Chains A and B, each alone.
Chain A
Amino acid sequence: MTMPAPASTATVDLAARFPDVVQLDARPDYTGFIVEKDSLLEVAAAIRDEFGFDLLSSVTGVDYAPDKMEVVYHAYRTSGGPGLAFKVQIPRIDPVEVPSLIHLWPGVDLQEREVWDLLGIKFSGHPDLRRILMWEGFEGHPLRKDWKEGFYEEDVKPFKSRWPQGKFAMAEDLNPFGDNLTFPKNFDPEKWIPEGEALLYGALARYTVENEDGISSDRIVINMGPHHPSTHGVFRAVMTLEGETIKGLKPVLGYLHRNHEKIGERNTFLQNMPYTDRLDYFNSMTNNFGYALAVEKLMKIPVAERADYIRVIVSELSRIQNHLVFIGTLLNDLGAMYTPSLYAYEERELVLDVFEAISGSRMMCNYYRFGGVVRDIPDDVMQKIKDLVYERIPPKTDELDRMLSENEVLLARMRGIRMINAEDAVAYSITGPVLRAAGVPYDIRRADPYGIYDRFDFDVAVRYNGDLMDNYLIRIDEIRQSLRILDQAIRQIPQGPINSQKPAYQVRVPAGEAYGRIESPKGELGFYVLSNGKPNPWRYHVRAPSFVNVTALEKISVGTKIADFVVLLAMFDMVMGECDR
């Protein structure tokens, strides 16, 4: 049985270094430090440079209605170890304003825009503070506690209208606008002038440039997406081109913004579990893991020993199928239409068969419960897992490797095309395979082990060129390392109960905050869960690797050819469900 890791504040004493402006967060079961707003930049610089927390992993806001708001930062060291949380509190009077950290950590760019969009906290000094998930002109900031959407029914679930007098009614019939809509009083749609995208295009580089000979030439603006076969979902990139070279680029997100966090704050803790499946819909097994970790930390409950092993087994299987699909779709983007991806999907189907047999669903597994998992792995399925791990996946991975890695076309397209260097990757808060391919051996399974990952012997896959080829090869390396972990887990798995708790549909979660993070196949997946002792979380934030990684897209793409952009984008292995949430 493993107890959840105690919420650690690392070993630094920030309050001693800045006695006047920093205090320890003394609320029970809270961790970290509260920093005065005016000294945030100074303290943050010290955190980065003196204390060595070089990776600012997550930025989010909390609305402590009615009196104050808070911005929460989580910083980590790429050399490993526990993290440091620091917070800024501001009175909840508009305009709520906090200094932006973008000049210290450029990786906060999109996250600060998200906090502005959803919570209405302004970041002074941010050069391009536009809405990101919703559109310009949208009314209100949805994650504020006093903001209500069209289909608002009650603050928390379960709704009272469902039972015992649960007369069926469509939500549409209950809304004055007859749909999921809400407009301000006396709104006149005919007089509405859409804000359009002037701000977006204004944020891009200039349209007309003059070269040294005095000849002025126009730049072309290209919109790629949201409907484009190579954007892996509904991602949109707007770029200005000079010839074929990208001169400016802005990602446009929010086309799959499903209001995960707002719905998550209304759900009970248990009800959020199946919603996490739909974040990164390739890896519901790892998504569940992160959320379960966060809530178990809050509840301070141990995880059953066997369940811990099962969690590792399903997570690593999930990582394998994710990387296989990544390789398949990457080759699609490179023009090798279908064949590699068809082969990759075959192995994926076999892994999904295992998931279906143990959890019931191929993709949306909903397999974890607080304290363990929902169902044991029966012997016949265990045999199937062994077959896959020992007999099926290794030769098939080798086959894929043999088929692709020496292919001259592939080499010509990928070798030597730089993605990002180590320094920039850390500054931009990139995590996951892209960071490791740039030469930073940062893997949360090793750097800050969760679950029982500290018991396994495996190497952190790392490559040093930082080019596209390395980004591709590191996925194959990771598949092989996952197979190593699986081998050990299958041999060591004990018999026993699969949950330390009794099955219950209402769980008691004491007040406090927890940040549970795991190494998902895409990078660091973090869940920031805040409980006030009620059955529903007060704040539920997902630090999605796809979303944070895409911050660096502009930095990476500017200066490259547009044909390479498709491949650069593919390397992030984005999933829009997680990116837009």
Chain B
Amino acid sequence: MYGKGILKGLGVTWKRFWDTYTEDIAWVLRGKKRYYTEEGVQHRSSKDQKGIFTVQYPEEKLIQPEESRFLPFLVYNKLPDGKREILCTSCGICPKVCPPQCIWIVRSNDPVTGRPIPEPTEFYIDMDLCMNCGYCAEYCPFDAIKMDHDFEVSSYGRNVYDMEKLLKSSEYYKSIRPLNYEREEAARITEAEAKKAKEAARAAAQAAKPANPPAAPTA
């Protein structure tokens, strides 16, 4: 019969349309809210999704996986006295590894000792160059630069971020990437302990030194 294929195809679309309402009813019967809840969004992004597929941004948002990356940001620790401890040490790995070369860092020297100050004097990222590849975060040895989850950053002008705009607290970082934060924190603690143990050993060695003064050279 001519037209059978078309009818079959229309049957598929009709089923899709119908599924939305049967699912709605099923959720009501189960006493759950299908829209505007995290559970609902999760279900609509799973294999069991049927009928409606829309996640109604901005009222609902997709659940971002932890590894999700958008723009880079710098991490600082809040100190008890309200000051910020910037983790970046201006080591220069991120500007070196950055594929589009969108990171600019000014490192200055201490006027007294002449040695470089770890904290960057200026830190610029041109977000209109950045390709969100995540290399800066991946290769940063100090966990000082990370990739953000926040994508609502559109603006009425060009986006060149200076240090003020780039800095975000480590609590924020913990909130978006809890597993990564935990892993890095654990690594930091073991490293600190190892360092402490080493120092203790050295101190012990030094403390032991006066007890055994080197034998005076005998003539």
**Is A–B contact present in the complex under a CB 8 A cutoff?**
yes
Residues on A lying within 8 angstroms of B by beta carbon are 157-159, 161-169, 267, 270-275, 277-278, 339, 343, 346, 349-350, 353, 356-361, 364, 366, 374-375, 381, 384, 387-388, 391-392, 399, 402-411, 503, 505
Contact call A359/B67, Cβ cutoff below 8 A: yes
Q: Would you call A403 and B9 a contact (CB within 8 A)?
A: yes
Q: Please, could you name 21 A-B residue pairs with CB atoms under 8 Å apart, sorted by A?
A: A162-B101, A162-B103, A163-B92, A163-B107, A164-B90, A165-B106, A166-B122, A166-B124, A167-B106, A168-B104, A271-B98, A273-B99, A274-B133, A350-B45, A360-B68, A360-B147, A387-B46, A391-B47, A403-B13, A408-B4, A408-B6
Partner of B67, one of A162, A357, A404: A357
Cα–Cα, bound, A409→B65 (Å): 42
Q: Does B139 contact A (CB under 8 A)?
A: yes
Task: Considering the complex, give the chain A residue whose CB is closest to the CB of B53.
Answer: A346
Q: Are A162 and B106 in contact, with the CB atoms below 8 A?
A: no
> Closest CB-CB distance, B43 to chain A, in whole Å?
13
**Ordered nearest first, which 8 A-B pairs have the shortest CB separation?**
A406-B5, A274-B133, A166-B104, A357-B65, A271-B99, A162-B95, A360-B69, A168-B124
Assembled-state Cα–Cα distance A272/B69 (Å): 19
Contact B96 A163 (CB under 8 A): yes
Any A CB within 8 A of the CB of B28: no
Which residue of chain A is the closest to B65 with respect to CB atoms? Answer: A357
- Which of A164, A278, A409, A503 contacts B116, CB < 8 Å? A164
- The answer, yes or no, to whether B57 is at the interface (CB within 8 Å) is no
Residues of B within 8 A of A163 (CB): 90, 92, 95-96, 103-105, 107
Q: Does B93 contact A (CB under 8 A)?
A: yes
Residues in B whose Cβ lies below 8 Å from that of A350: 45, 47
Task: Give the Cβ gap from B70 to chain A, nearest Cβ, in Å.
Answer: 9
A408:B3 contact, CB within 8 angstroms: yes
Q: Is the CB of A356 within 8 A of B103?
A: no
Total CB contacts across the A-B interface at under 8 A: 143
B162 and chain A: residue at smallest CB distance: A168
| Complex: A277 Cα to B131 Cα, angstroms | 10
B122:A167 contact, CB within 8 angstroms: yes
Chain A residues, Cβ within 8 Å of B138: 374, 503
Contact A402 B106, beta carbon cutoff 8 Å:
no
Kindly state whether residue B115 has any CB partner on chain A within 8 Å: no
**Bound form: Cα–Cα A157–B16 in Å:** 52
Q: Indicate if B26 sits at the interface (CB-CB under 8 A).
A: no
B47 → A minimal CB distance (Å)? 4
- Interface positions, chain B 63-79, Cβ under 8 Å from A, are 64-69
Which of the listed residues B46, B67, B69, B105 has the most CB atoms from chain A within 10 Å of its own CB? B67
Point out residues on B near A: beta carbons under 8 Å. 2-6, 8-9, 12-13, 16, 45-47, 49, 53, 64-69, 90, 92-93, 95-99, 101, 103-107, 116, 122, 124, 126, 131-135, 138-139, 147, 160
Complex Cα spacing A169 to B126, Å: 10
A360-B67, A366-B133, A503-B139 are known contacts. Are A406 and B8 too (CB-CB below 8 A)? yes
Least CB distance from A291 to B in Å reads: 13
B47 A388 Cβ-Cβ under 8 A:
yes
Which residues on the B side are within 8 Å of A353 (C-beta)?
Answer: 45, 65
Task: List the A side residues contacting B12 at CB < 8 Å.
Answer: 399, 402-403
Chain A residues near B122: list those with CB within 8 A. 166-168
State whether A274 touches B9 (Cβ < 8 A).
no
Given contacts A168-B160, A346-B49, 9 further A-B contacts (CB under 8 A): A157-B99, A158-B98, A162-B96, A166-B106, A267-B99, A343-B16, A374-B138, A405-B5, A409-B6
Question: Given A167-B104, A374-B138, does the pair A407, B9 have CB atoms closer than 8 Å?
Answer: yes
- How far is it, in angstroms, between the C-alpha of A171 and the C-alpha of B126 when the chains are bound? 11
The residue on B at minimum CB distance from A345 is: B53
CA distance A375 to B47 in the complex (A): 24
**Could you say which residues of chain A place their CB within 8 Å of the CB of B5?**
405-408, 410-411
Contact across chains for B3 and A275 when beta carbons are under 8 A apart = no
Contact of B105 among A166, A381, A503 (CB under 8 A): A166
Residues of chain A within 8 A of B101, CB atoms compared:
157-159, 162
Residue of B at shortest CB range from A339?
B13
A331 CB → nearest B CB, Å: 10
- CB <8 Å contact, A364 and B65: no
The smallest C-beta distance from A150 to any residue of chain B, in angstroms, reads 15
* Contact A406–B67 (Cβ < 8 Å): no
Q: How distant is the Cα of A366 from the Cα of B136 in the complex, in angstroms?
A: 13
Residue of chain A at shortest CB distance from B97: A505
Contacts of A405 in B (CB 8 A): 5
Nearest A-chain residue to B15, judged by Cβ:
A399
CB-nearest residue of chain B to A366: B133
- In the complex, the answer to whether A360 meets B107 with C-beta atoms within 8 Å is no
Please name the residue on chain B nearest to A393 by beta carbon. B47
Contacts of B93 on A, CB cut-off 8 Å? 505
B47 near A408 with CB under 8 A, answer: no
**Shortest CB distance A535–B (Å):** 10
Minimum distance in angstroms from A171 CB to a CB of chain B? 9
Chain B residue at minimum C-beta to C-beta distance from A343: B16
Question: In the complex, how many angstroms separate the beta carbon of A203 from the nearest chain B beta carbon?
Answer: 37
Q: How far is B90's CA from A104's CA once the two chains are assembled, in angstroms?
A: 58
Closest to B67 in A: A360
Q: How far is the CA of A366 from the CA of B131 in the complex (A)?
A: 11
**Cα-based distance from A267 to B101 in the complex (angstroms):** 10
Chain A residues contacting B49 (CB-CB under 8 Å) are 346
| Alpha-carbon distance between A570 and B6 when the two chains are bound, in angstroms | 22
Q: Which residue of A lies closest to B103 (CB)?
A: A162
When distances are taken between beta carbons in the complex, the residues of chain A under 8 Å from B98 are: 158, 162, 271
Which single residue of chain B is at the shortest CB-CB distance from A409?
B6
A353 vs B49: C-alpha distance in the bound complex, in angstroms? Answer: 14
The answer to whether B134 and A387 have CB atoms under 8 Å apart is no
- Determine which of B66, B105, B135 lies in contact with A164 in the assembled complex, contact meaning CB atoms within 8 Å: B105
By a CB distance below 8 angstroms, the chain B residues around A402 are 8-9, 12
Query: In the docked arrangement, what's the CA distance between A374 and B92, Å?
Result: 22
Which residues in B have their C-beta under 8 angstroms from that of A407? 5-6, 8-9
User: By the criterion CB–CB under 8 Å, are B99 and A364 in contact?
Assistant: no
How many angstroms from the CA of A391 to the CA of B96 in the assembled complex?
45
Choose among A272, A346, A408, A410 the residue with the greatest number of B CB atoms under 10 Å from its CB: A408
